[in-house]
Amino acid sequence: MGKTLYISDLDGTLLGKDARLSRRSADVIGELIRKGMLFTVATARSLSSVAILQQLQLQIPCVQLNGVLMYDFPQGKYIGCTPIDPRAARNVVDILRRFDRMSFVYKADDTYGIHVEFERLTNDVERNFFEVRKDKDYKSFSRVDCISIQDNDKVIYFTMVDEYEKLSAICEEIRKIDGVSPTLYSDNYSDLYFLEVFSDRATKARGMQMIRELVGADRIVAFGDNLNDIEMLQQADIGIAVGDAAPQVKEIADLVIGNSDEDAVALWLAQQAD
């Protein structure tokens, strides 16, 4: 059958509703990796949140920020970054100002260190987002009076969280900008939605295909639960949705398994190894 690459989303898929990787999932997947399974993740999170995966001892690169960054755990460094063109990034800022709704703006330095700028925190989810991450390694935060984009800035990501009605109109305006790709999807841990904006050359699906080439896999099995996973599941040879995935994701999936709180991904993977 050749080599198979297994790649999973994190929140709502591999992680439970408490946003944690269960001990059972960690033990099962860690053992499968030690036995040679090609397993990795594709997530909207950055490395400061992905540190939990170090307990899995991943042996191949993973996809972060929905495809913007590629991180190689064995080498302990980023191996790829897809920034937004500065002119397109300024156009995004202009639209956000028109709607009076600024976001977190991620900028990368030459070594892919991430620096996040923001003007204000709009709701409790954003305040918690900041409080949880402000002292983490790999990422620094700065409150600024006015977000500005210079030609030499490597802007890689915009992210904000709010009610669907407030973000959907912004999303539609941003879709008109050449060079960027907005994605709007529900937060797994609240009733709000995330709006994230990144280069149109950066997607989970593209990152997945890059890893496939790096490891020489013959086929891909991908797991997901939310709208930002749809393209990845469609491009995989087998796209699998967890049982508590969004209806749109289950509709396009080749297979629907158990819920994220039931270690469904880990248990399905273990069955393949039997």
Domain ranges within the chain, ordered by starting residue: 4-81+203-273, 86-199
**Domain 4-81+203-273 identical in fold to domain 86-199:** no
CATH class (in words) of the domain with range 4-81+203-273: alpha beta
Q: Distance between CA 110 and CA 112 in Å, rounded?
A: 5
Across 24-28, 124-128, 212-216, 266-270, least confident range: 124-128
Instruction: Pull the structure tokens for residue 67.
Output: 């495809």
Across 54-58, 125-129, 215-219, least confident range: 54-58
pLDDT at 1: 56
The predicted-structure confidence for 52-61, as pLDDT tens digits, reads as follows 777 788 999 9
What is the residue-wise DSSP string for 75-118?
TTEEEEE-PPPHHHHHHHHHHHHHTT---EEEEE-TT--EEEEE
Taking each helix axis from N to C terminus, what angle separates 164-174 and 86-98, rounded to the nearest 10 degrees? 140
CATH class (in words) of the domain with range 86-199: alpha beta
Q: Distance between CA 133 and CA 4 in Å, rounded?
A: 34
Contact 13, 265 (CB under 8 A): yes
Look at residues 243, 157, 232, 245 and name the one whose alpha carbon lies nearest to residue 7: 232
Distance of CA 161 to the CA centre of its chain: 15
* Per-residue confidence band for 175, with pLDDT thresholds at 50, 70 and 90: very high
